[in-house]
């Protein structure tokens, strides 16, 4: 590649996946990001008090050997191998994950209904599945579906299950067979059934350390927010006044933000991009001078009156992300412009999170809290019914004008770390193929 070469927009896993593939073929790209540092959605933030918090919970559980080796090399072989323990909270009950196969200890009437309806669903003719709610009821029966994943959907995806499609599920929701469900209802200890049973995490520096190997592979420019893209003159403009040219463009910018930046983009395509929905996550971080806050690496919360959908406990990922003798708690509270707009500031949610941590018993009444922080960040693609047709048209337009999209927010999918990295590599390979 000659002249002004390849420009990559976005310094997360997808962006550095693209940089890696280009570098491997002898092409040095320029990478631009609007943040102050590398990482994108996989950024980590180090605080003066000794805590390190990622931009939402990130772990590596890939079985892809090539990617495992790339990440291991990136941190000089210094990473933790962890056996995951995951649990759930519902109305004062702590139950192992997946909840469907671990009903032990819940009210008897609820267990009986869940088991009875599971038997009925296995004997009934296959129903027509038109949305995620249909799938949940067909898989679990109405009682479990509405009590657990249905309620979680409203908190995590910010909309009801009937508004979602089913093309995102993969292994994420476990459906136990009758024997597993009965065993989990009768016995307090059950086999591990969660799709993540072990994971890896850098020993030092937080999750973003996994990008260290790739930093020399591209020229990087941070605090460069794109304000205009001209595909005719091959010109980018930035909010800081910088202007640059390119031959080929790779972007992991979220599609609803990307399309309005493109000069001459058809109004109907821009409108379809705006209808693509994504959650906005308020991250609240809490640190306490106590190690035994939780044995779980992360926990799902189903109650509507508990503000957070999920908690993670980063000090259990690596002891180096929190001061000695301390616990780190990260809470996720979900919003979306389309279904549940965030009003006010992300900082407004610090005290509600602390209140609910105390209500569910993870924090002790009056306990000294030694760290509080918060921010808002992009979350997950919402697989609603506007997505399929709108996404097809948006991607078709980008293909026509030569914008090579990648990553969670470019492909507009439910992607894990390795999938985002490989999406960036594929975008680079399309560039190399001309």
**Region 279-284 average pLDDT:** 98
pLDDT in tens, 186-216: 888 877 766 668 999 999 999 999 999 999 9
Lowest mean pLDDT among 177-181, 257-261, 401-405, 413-417: 177-181
In angstroms, the CA 290 to CA 356 distance is 18
State both tokens at 371.
């760290």
Task: Phi first, then psi: give them for residue 110, nearest 5 degrees.
Answer: -65, -45
Q: Is the pLDDT of residue 174 over 80?
A: no
Closest CA to 431 of 178, 247, 193, 176: 247
Domain spans of the chain?
98-186
Lookup: tokens for 196: 């993540």
78-110 confidence digits (pLDDT tens) = 999 999 999 999 999 999 999 999 999 999 999
- Find the helix or strand (DSSP H, E) in which 89 lies: strand 86-90
Q: Tell me how far CA of residue 402 lies from CA of 102, 228, 246, in angstroms.
A: 50, 16, 12
Encode pLDDT of 338-383 as tens digits.
999 999 999 999 999 999 999 999 999 989 999 999 999 999 999 9
DSSP for 345-407? -GGGGHHHHHHHHHHTTSS-TTPPEEEEEEEEEEEEE--BTTHHHHHHHHHHHHHHHTEEE-S
Residue 79: CB partners within 8 Å, gap ≥ 6? Answer: 71, 72, 200, 201, 202, 203
pLDDT in tens, 375-422: 999 999 999 999 998 999 999 999 999 999 999 999 999 899 999 999
- By the 8 A CB rule, do 165 and 383 touch? yes
Output the pLDDT for position 173.
59
What are the start-end ranges of the H helices in 124-210?
Answer: 132-140, 142-147, 149-156, 178-186
More confident residue, 278 or 176: 278
Whether the per-residue pLDDT at 3 is higher than 50: the answer is: no
Query: What is the predicted pLDDT for the residue at 170?
Result: 66
Rounded CA separation 270/263 (Å): 11
Instruction: Return d(Cα 206, Cα 375) in angstroms, integer.
Output: 17
Alpha-carbon gap, residue 95 to 88, rounded angstroms: 5
Residue 2 — pLDDT band, cuts 50, 70, 90? very low
Over residues 19-45, mean pLDDT: 96
Report how far Cα 124 is from the mean position of its chain's Cα atoms: 35
User: What would the pLDDT profile of 309-319 be if each residue is shown by its tens digit?
Assistant: 999 999 999 99
Question: How far apart, in whole angstroms, are the C-alpha atoms of residue 231 and residue 266?
Answer: 13
pLDDT at 424 over 70: yes
Average model confidence (pLDDT) for the chain? 94
What share of the chain has pLDDT > 70, as a percent?
97
């Amino acid at each position: 590649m000659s002249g002004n070469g390849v420009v990559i927009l976005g310094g997360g896993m997808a962006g550095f996946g693209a940089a890696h593939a280009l570098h491997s073929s002898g092409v040095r790209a320029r990478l631009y990001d609007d943040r102050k540092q590398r990482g994108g959605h996989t950024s980590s933030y180090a605080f003066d008090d000794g805590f390190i918090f990622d931009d939402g919970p990130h772990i590596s559980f890939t079985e892809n050997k090539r990617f495992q080796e790339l990440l291991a090399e990136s941190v000089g072989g210094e990473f933790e191998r962890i056996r995951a323990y995951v649990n759930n909270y519902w109305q004062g009950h702590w139950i192992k994950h997946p909840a469907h196969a671990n009903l032990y200890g819940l009210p008897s009437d609820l267990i009986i209904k869940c088991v009875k309806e599971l038997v009925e669903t296995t004997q009934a003719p296959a129903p027509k599945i038109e949305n995620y709610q249909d799938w949940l009821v067909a898989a679990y029966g109405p009682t479990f579906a509405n009590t657990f994943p249905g309620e979680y959907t409203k908190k995590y995806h910010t909309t009801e299950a009937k508004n979602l499609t089913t093309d995102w599920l993969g292994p994420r929701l476990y459906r136990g067979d009758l024997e597993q469900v009965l065993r989990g209802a009768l016995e307090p200890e059950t086999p591990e059934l969660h799709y993540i049973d072990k994971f890896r995490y850098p020993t030092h520096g937080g999750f973003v350390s996994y990008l260290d190997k790739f930093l020399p592979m591209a020229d990087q420019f941070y605090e460069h927010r794109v304000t205009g893209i001209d595909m005719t003159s091959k010109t980018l403009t930035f909010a800081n006044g910088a202007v640059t040219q390119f031959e080929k463009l790779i972007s992991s910018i979220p599609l609803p933000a990307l399309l309005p930046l493109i000069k001459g983009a058809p109004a109907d395509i821009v409108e379809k991009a705006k209808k693509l929905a994504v959650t906005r996550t308020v991250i609240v971080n809490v640190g306490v001078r106590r190690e035994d806050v939780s044995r779980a690496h992360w926990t799902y919360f189903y109650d509507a009156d508990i503000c957070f959908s999920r908690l993670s406990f980063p000090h259990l990922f690596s002891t180096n992300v929190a001061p000695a003798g301390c616990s780190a708690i990260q809470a996720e509270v979900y919003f979306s412009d389309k279904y549940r707009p965030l009003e006010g500031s992300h900082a407004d949610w610090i005290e509600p999170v602390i209140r609910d941590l105390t209500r569910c018993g993870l924090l002790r009444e009056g306990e000294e809290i030694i760290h509080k922080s918060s921010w808002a960040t992009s979350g997950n693609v919402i697989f609603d019914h506007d997505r399929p047709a709108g996404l097809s048209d948006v991607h078709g337009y980008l293909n026509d004008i030569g914008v090579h999209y990648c990553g969670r927010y470019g492909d507009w999918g439910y992607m894990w770390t390795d999938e985002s990295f490989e999406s960036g590599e594929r975008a680079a390979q399309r560039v190399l193929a001309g």
